[in-house]
Amino acid sequence: MDGFLLQTTIFLGTAVIAVPISARLGMGSVLGYLLAGVLIGPVLGLVESSQDLMHFAEFGVVMMLFLIGLELDPRALWAMRQKLLGLGGLQILLTGTAIIVGALWLDHPLQTAIALGMIFSLSSTAIVLQTLSEKNLMQTGGGRSAFAVLLTQDIAVIPMLAILPLLAMGPVMQIATDGSIHAVGSAVKDGHAAEISLVEGLPGWGVTLVTLGAVLAVVLAGRYLVRPVFRFIHSANLREMYTAFALLIVIGIALLMTMVGLSPALGTFLAGVILATSEFRHELESDIQPFKGLLLGLFFITVGSQIDFAGFFADPAPILSLTLALIFAKAVILFGLGRVFGLKGRDQVLFTLSLAQAGEFGFVLISFALQQHVLQPALAEELMLVVALSMLITPLLFIAYDLLTRRMGEGTESRPDDVVDEQGPVIIAGIGRFGQIVNRLVRSAGFKTVVLDHDMRTIELMRRFGVKGFFGDPTRPELLHAAGLGDARVLVVALDDPKAATKLVGFARRDRPDLHIIARAHDRHHTFELFNAGADDIVREMFDSSLRAGRYVLENVGLSEYEAAQAEQAFYKHDRYTIRELAQHWDPKTPTVDNKAYIARAKELEKELEMSLLALLENENKE
């Protein structure tokens, strides 16, 4: 026990230090966990035996697949079927086939080649999605296509886990001459039976019936049993019971699948999909998420601690060659698929480079294949190195994307900009949810607007409703002048990208000092940036709706509608005053937490607000 606690302390302590550093450097949590494992394993040699921790960590993979199932609403999957089966399915098929051919050319057995094809056909969901979100690339054509492929890969992991045991080189299932099957779903470790089997000694048809019965039991329980049990637990009004029941679902299904010789991940994924439409889906997700994150982190730390870097540095050329060959092969296939599915320009470059690495599920499949005797230990060590190195190279691939797109020019789009042949007194840059409401109000009042947006799908959607818009980058000076910037009375900046919005406000103010500029702000700091850039009226995107919600709260905790409205108006006026006051202390080069003058003034203004609202309500009560 002492040794186990010491190892756990080392693992968790290293993770607490390494992962935040990795996240702040933009490398993501997965790389942080891997580097933490490398640090305490090959570098410092602090890991004696990680097998006990690995048993816990592997359960994080089971929980992750349960959560993936919860997020996959069958109706949403059906709506995305063309992109999932087309783009995602072809990527897995073509990449897997290319890897299989290469492995056979290197004289690997067919079973090993198939396993390698499945392992390396996957990309890193964690790193790619996080990076796309951080760089605001998720809503681009390339970002959406990459997401579709990653979703397909996550789903494909399930059949891959089911296929791997069939490729086993060793006797995973022993079938006697009388047709009975022995030792299915059981193993002996350290002289003790590791699992209990329901199918040991059964004839072949009996094994099939028990297996189908177990799957059917999972489906029926998820469909008809979970809801009444959740309602029963809800009546107890004990928060910890929700967590206990969520863990019971995952652990119970994993145990049942193991007892019939199936992958625990397969059963939990199936249960997740069934419960995806349940009203308790979000409750289950929030209860399981912390356990999944911690156990999955332990899994990646354990993987990192077991990577044989000594062998790599002894002869790095083969591993580096295989890693670069993998990235090159995947990039070529992705580039071709992007071209076939209509991606062009920077969208095609993003799609190609973002998915060219191997992924965290590769570690899962390698570990599982090693347990099932599909891979030899020496080969598994090499594969771990290839997957880890390709993931470590991923930030360089995104840097390459930035460099390539910069050389392509800032204004390069997947299609040429529209020719703007209309001008009006009001120019609206950005026609998302915010810009649409502004546009509808102004047009319904009888004033002409000129709409600009760089999202072609949004422009086409607005045209279906009879609203004409022009496709192009609103921050381009020539496009703004074509839309009538020289004679316009009002410019509405409703762009999603805060940096682009600030850039547009600054240019418009320099070009037209007399122009009235109304800008949408992402948050308070963005408000200060827009104020400094020259915006006249600044609207924080969540402020007005939050203010209205606060008024509803006041109306339902004892204030009259008039009193709540007065409080809302007083808060609104004081907030505008607060923005002007704090703008004098705001410094874009100094983090807010380190700006003592800003914090001190903010506290003073908050006290002023509280006193003014109390005085207002007291006066209303006296009257």
The CA distance from 563 to 545, in Å, is 18
Structural domains present in the chain: 2-171+198-405 (1.20.1530.20), 416-540 (3.40.50.720), 542-623 (no CATH)
Give me the phi and psi of 191, to 5 degrees please. 80, 5
Q: Cβ distance 319 to 382 under 8 Å?
A: yes
Q: CA dihedral in degrees (153, 156, 160, 163; nearest 10)?
A: -160
Cβ-based neighbours of 464, under 8 Å, separated by 6 or more: none
pLDDT for 187: 37
Do residues 468 and 422 make contact, with C-beta atoms less than 8 angstroms apart?
yes
Distance (Å, rounded) from C-alpha 57 to C-alpha 595? 42
571 in Cβ contact with 609 (< 8 Å): yes
Overall residue count recorded for the chain in this entry:
623
Distances (CA, A) of 580 to 100, 443, 547, 597, 608: 64, 31, 19, 14, 15
How many angstroms from the chain centroid is the CA of residue 195? 35
CA 529/CA 498 separation, integer angstroms: 9
User: What integer pLDDT is reported at residue 176 of this predicted model?
Assistant: 37
Specify whether the CB–CB gap between 281 and 12 falls below 8 A.
no
| pTM for the whole structure | 0.54
3-state secondary structure of 189: strand
How far apart (Å, rounded) are the C-alpha atoms in residues 412 and 100? 37
Tell me the Cα Rg of the chain.
Answer: 29
Closest CA to 98 of 375, 333, 337, 354: 333
Residue 186 is predicted with a pLDDT of 36
Mean pLDDT (10-residue bins), the chain, 623 residues:
71 81 72 79 70 61 73 65 80 93 90 91 79 71 82 81 74 38 37 50 67 80 80 75 81 80 71 73 73 72 73 82 92 91 85 87 82 84 86 82 74 52 84 84 86 79 74 83 88 88 90 91 84 87 84 86 85 83 76 77 81 73 59
Residue with the two structure tokens 């637990």? 233
> What is the model's pLDDT at position 374?
85
Provide the pLDDT for residue 263.
65
Burial class (CB in 10 A: 0-12, 13-18, 19+), 512: middle
What are the residues whose beta carbons fall under 8 Å from the beta carbon of 586, sequence distance 6 or more? 525, 528, 595, 598
d(CA 299, CA 361): 11
Helix (H, G, I), strand (E, B) or coil at 493: strand
- Name the DSSP class of 277: T
Laid out side by side, the sheet with 490-493 consists of 470-471, 449-453, 426-429, 490-493, 516-521, 537-540
Position 259 scores a pLDDT of: 80
CA–CA dist 329, 337 (Å, integer): 13
β-strand partners of 538: 519
**C-alpha to C-alpha distance for 547 and 553, rounded to whole angstroms:** 10
Question: What per-residue confidence (pLDDT) applies to 177?
Answer: 35
pLDDT for residue 2: 61
Vertex 195 angle, CA 193 and 201, to 5°: 90
Q: Which positions ≥6 away from 493 have C-beta within 8 Å?
A: 429, 430, 501, 504, 505, 508, 517, 518, 519, 520, 530, 535
Helix, strand, coil percent values for the chain (each to nearest 5): 70, 5, 25
- Residue found by looking up tokens 């089911």 in the block: 162
| Token pair 């349940």 in the structure block, residue | 278
By the 8 A CB rule, do 160 and 116 touch? no
- State whether residue 180 is helix, strand or coil: strand
Angle at 30 between CA 28 and CA 33, to 5 degrees: 110
**Residue 51: CB atoms within 10 Å:** 10
